Amino acid sequence: MTKIYKIAPQPEGLQEGITLAPQPIAAGAPSKEELALISAYTTRAHAPEELYTFSVRLCDNEIDRDGEAFTPETLRELAALYVGKSGIFDHAWSAQNQQARIYRTEIVTENAKTEQNTPLCWLKASAYMLREGNADAIRAIEAGIRKEVSVGCAVRRKICSVCGKKPGNCGHKRGEKYDNTLCYTLLDGAADAYEWSFVAVPAQPAAGIVKNFELEGGVKMKTLKDMAMAAGGDAFAEYERLETLAAEGETRINGLRSEVSRLFIAASGFAAETAEKLAAALGEAELKAAKTSLETAARDNWPAAPQILNAEEVDEGFKI
């Protein structure tokens, strides 16, 4: 069963309830009840045929491409904050770029599970725009061309799913499992909702999301990925190229650190913990130099082998 939680104030007579499936608002002219909600944002009464209404899935509690996920409570907080917020294009904050406005939000809980095996829920918004001057935009929406959306919002806390601490300082890496627990970052506590945008490449697979975070202390952040996505074209392609190179470099250096740590133990007899700390303190060039020196030291310390070795002895011998 799908539960729909009404967040925005509703006209008298409308009740919260439970439906068998999400009931999207029919694209087109608003109903009498919808006009009552929309009137809170207009300076004059509008006829239904002057306006176009549609529904959007803003964000959910699935783990996104950045290894982050909203908590259900944060989605509910965002639902209240997003009522009345403008819809724009590519997160370009300009009054001339305003396309639509949200007049109602709902939290939809589906009879399905997220990747982290929790009930799937998502933030649904109902929005309106003027028909006059927006014929092309409306056709693109109805044809499924203009479909993906994302949100610009602020959260108060980022929490490691494994230990509950602040990510980056706890030693857990997003995407890895610890005792069968997947590490990802929980986005907890909605601080503000800025806008929602039509975008071409969203970060969240189902809804698309570009997040502007406001962390504790009021520091606002916009990630490089956010800016590259907003710029689009060559800028985003270059970001993806650099991101791939960075990932490859991290894999290479981690492998080198592991090898140098092993050689510290083999050549110098360090304890494993000490060897790992020494390797972790070295940069790539230093790791390469250390590997060369330690390999030489290990060979020099290799015990003299007899003239004849059988296969079993070779297999059990020390290997570099």
Contact 66, 41 (CB under 8 A): no
| Longest CA–CA separation in the chain, Å | 100
The Cα 88–Cα 100 span in angstroms is 7
Do residue 263 and residue 121 come from a single domain?
no
Do residue 168 and residue 277 come from a single domain?
no
**Residue 184: C-alpha distances to residues 78, 118, 160 (Å):** 20, 14, 6
32 within domain boundaries: yes
93-122 tens-digit pLDDT: 667 778 889 999 999 898 889 988 899 999
Do residue 24 and residue 111 come from a single domain?
yes
Do residue 286 and residue 206 come from a single domain?
no
Helix, strand or coil, per DSSP, at residue 123: strand
Cα-Cα-Cα-Cα torsion 22, 41, 195, 57, nearest 10 degrees, comes to: 10
316 within domain boundaries: no
Q: Which residue has the higher pLDDT, 10 or 132?
A: 132
- The reported pLDDT for the residue numbered 298 is 62
The Cα 171–Cα 72 span in angstroms is 26
Do residue 227 and residue 249 come from a single domain?
no
57-76 tens-digit pLDDT: 899 999 988 889 999 999 99
Does residue 86 surpass a pLDDT of 70? Answer: yes
- The reported pLDDT for the residue numbered 105 is 93
Do residue 90 and residue 13 come from a single domain?
yes
Look at residues 231, 254, 282 and tell me which one is the last residue of a structural domain: 231
Phi, psi of 149 (to 5 degrees): -135, 160
Does residue 188 surpass a pLDDT of 80? Answer: yes
Crossing angle of helices 233-268 and 272-280, rounded to 10°: 140
Do residue 142 and residue 167 come from a single domain?
yes
* Residue appearing with tokens 């309830």: 17
Do residue 157 and residue 81 come from a single domain?
yes
Residue 249 is part of which domain span?
239-303
Residue type, 72: P
The Cα 71–Cα 175 span in angstroms is 18
- The reported pLDDT for the residue numbered 229 is 57
The strand pairing partners of 89, in sequence order, are 198
Query: Residue 301 — pLDDT band, cuts 50, 70, 90?
Result: low
Q: What percent of the chain has pLDDT over 70?
A: 71
Does residue 216 surpass a pLDDT of 80? Answer: no
Query: Residue 145 — pLDDT band, cuts 50, 70, 90?
Result: confident
Residue type, 228: A
- The reported pLDDT for the residue numbered 119 is 92
Contact 175, 183 (CB under 8 A): yes
Q: What percent of the chain has pLDDT over 90?
A: 24
Contact 61, 75 (CB under 8 A): yes
Look at residues 215, 231, 247 and tell me which one is the last residue of a structural domain: 231
Q: Which residue has the higher pLDDT, 297 or 190?
A: 190
Contact 78, 102 (CB under 8 A): no
Look at residues 206, 231, 256 and tell me which one is the last residue of a structural domain: 231
314 within domain boundaries: no
How many domains would you assign to the chain?
2
**Residue 62: C-alpha distances to residues 68, 98, 115, 313 (Å):** 8, 28, 7, 53
Does residue 257 surpass a pLDDT of 50? Answer: yes
Helices (H) and strands (E) in the chain, counts: 8, 13
Do residue 111 and residue 40 come from a single domain?
yes
Do residue 250 and residue 224 come from a single domain?
no
Do residue 225 and residue 245 come from a single domain?
no
313 within domain boundaries: no
105 within domain boundaries: yes
Half-sphere exposure of 105 (CA within 13 A, CB side): 23
- The reported pLDDT for the residue numbered 186 is 93
Q: Average per-residue pLDDT in the chain?
A: 75
Do residue 265 and residue 149 come from a single domain?
no
Structure token pair of residue 117: 């095996």
320 within domain boundaries: no
56 within domain boundaries: yes
Beta strands in 7-85 (DSSP E): 17-19, 51-60, 68-70
